[in-house]
A and B are shown apart, each in its own frame.
Chain A
Amino acid sequence: MALENAGSKRFSRLFTEDWLSVVVGLVLVGLVLTGILKNIP
């Protein structure tokens, strides 16, 4: 149980909004650079 808590604590620390925004931002940059996302109004 203690191990499970420690694991989930590490997981939530890793997936803070700070990191999530970096991942989403870079994925969006990748989508635009590869031309998958284009002609954005």
Chain B
Amino acid sequence: MSDRVLTSSEVASASRPELSKQWAWWSASLLLVVLLTVATWWLNKAVPAWSKPLRVIEFPVYAVLLGLLASGVLSVFGIKDRLAAYFRTEFFLKTGLVLLGATINLAEIVAFGAKGLLQAVILITTVFFFTWFVARWLGVEDKLRALLAASVAICGVSAAITAAGAVLAKKEQLVYVTGLVILFALPLMFLQPAAAIWLNLSPDVAGAWIGGNIDTTAAVVGAGMIHSQQALKVATIAKLSQNALIGVVAFLLALYWVVVVERKPGQRPSAWEIWERFPKFVLGFILASIVVTVALSNGWIASSVKRDLGHLREWFFMAAFLSIGFGLSFRGLREAGWRPIGVYALATVFNTAVALGVAKLIFG
């Protein structure tokens, strides 16, 4: 090997073909992410049109499956690693979370009135801590515990995603909890309105019970529709009241993680350390929420803007779950074991009972 030092122009010309090759792989990776996200969007629209019961299956399922499929096919051809550049789970997830904040109009919490807010606060607090302690009792890992508690207590998939960002959970844990949310929502969508009719509940109480218990918004709408139009209206309001508090839970969870869970033994973290470790998307989430609330309240923007923001958020979440499927490790899923299923089942039974009591008390 020669000791001669290469000039900068020689270095540039030598690396140019390599660099352009790299650019070609990056472009192909970006194109693949876009195409697969469009395919997820199409499946999410087409499948519910084919089959009504399947409308409870939300986009994470299609996205993870397509990601897994792409990963398998590209692995066979030996080019998976070269095309992995744009499968950026963290970036897509957190950008989607900032957009989620923008779809939450804080003024709605007030508009729904004290009843909706009271029910949301009681249910979120009791169900969150019940799930948290049952999971601890069953020895479920800390981050998975946070995801389970948030998803049962607040609003299923969105809450699981937000909690995953707040505590920096593993992608396998998010997939696991999302799967549980959808799995449990499907029977509840049919059983709960039937039970409400059997118990002879008024449409207001039935709606509050459905909205306070079922975790995914699609299943809440489905269950409300099965019961009555009035139940659907109240169920949607109850669900939105819970969704609106997601930012508060994310903030508290992120703070608890930084200050308590990740604290070194015998040390108190400084304000700077807390700031450094604090997930910044929470700030983006809150800021976006405040901006949209102020703009909507003052009539500066049309309310249709919220629909566009919701759709944009969904595109980012689809890309995030696609990336999760692309890099999914089945060993990580197996490591979680069966206990989270038990926790989720117990928490759902508890949520069903408490939500019925609270709905009767507040809306009866």
Contact = CB atoms under 8 A, between A and B. Distances in A.
Contact of B292 (A17, A20, A21, A29): A29
Given A22-B280, A25-B99, A26-B288, A40 B311 contact: yes
B131 to A, nearest CB: 27
Interface stretch (B22-30, B86-94, B215-223): B86-94
B309 A32 contact: yes
Contacts, number: 76
A18 B279 contact: yes
B309 A17 contact: no
B64 interface: no
Given A22-B94, A22-B281, A17 B88 contact: yes
A19 B281 CA distance: 7
A33 B98 CA distance: 14
Interface in B88-120: 88, 90-91, 93-99, 101-102
Contact of A33 (B93, B94, B292): B292
Nearest to B296: A33
A40 B288 CA distance: 18
Nearest to B307: A40
A21 B311 contact: no
Contacts of A28: 95, 98-99, 312
A24 B315 CA distance: 14
Given A25-B94, A41-B41, A18 B280 contact: yes
A21 B308 contact: no
Contact of A22 (B283, B292, B295, B309): B283
Interface in A27-41: 28-29, 32-33, 37-41
A18 to B, nearest CB: 5
A14 to B, nearest CB: 11
A21 B305 contact: no
B164 to A, nearest CB: 13
Interface residues of B, number: 30
Contact of B281 (A21, A40, A41): A21
A18 B281 contact: yes
Contact of A40 (B91, B101, B315): B315
B312 A19 contact: no
Interface string B298-314: 00010001001101100
Nearest to B103: A29
Nearest to B287: A26
B136 to A, nearest CB: 28
A10 to B, nearest CB: 12
B95 A33 contact: no
B285 to A, nearest CB: 8
B53 interface: no
B292 A24 contact: no
A21 B90 contact: yes
Nearest to B282: A22
Contact of B311 (A19, A25, A29, A41): A41
Interface of A: 17-22, 24-26, 28-29, 32-33, 37-41
Given A28-B95, A40-B311, 9 more contacts: A22-B94, A25-B95, A25-B284, A26-B284, A29-B98, A32-B102, A32-B305, A40-B312, A41-B311
